[in-house]
Amino acid sequence: MEYTILFFTHSGAIKFNRKLKSENIQCELMPVPRVLSSNCSIAAKIFYDGNIENLIDDEIEKIFITENNKNELVYESN
């Protein structure tokens, strides 16, 4: 599955990227796509077939799953 993950801070995204690399999960940091948010922030694109809830931490603002070029919100921080 393809996911786009939005973060509250740049440092949170960098920590998340390091965590995934240590677990051999491919992670690409990029600007947040305008279609997902108007904030100038950073996002990560990952391909992950496990339970996405296992990757959620306090730094994550939102998670979208991408299927057929459409993004569906699957997680939003309270």
- Taking only the tens place, the pLDDT of each residue in 11-55 is 999 999 999 999 999 999 999 888 887 676 889 999 999 999 999
Q: What is the pTM of this model?
A: 0.90
Say which CATH number the domain at 62 has: 3.30.70
Q: Give the span between the Cα atoms of 17 and 19, in whole angstroms.
A: 5
Torsion, Cα of 34, 35, 39, 43 (10° steps):
-80
Domain span at residue 6?
2-76
The total number of structural domains in the chain stands at 1
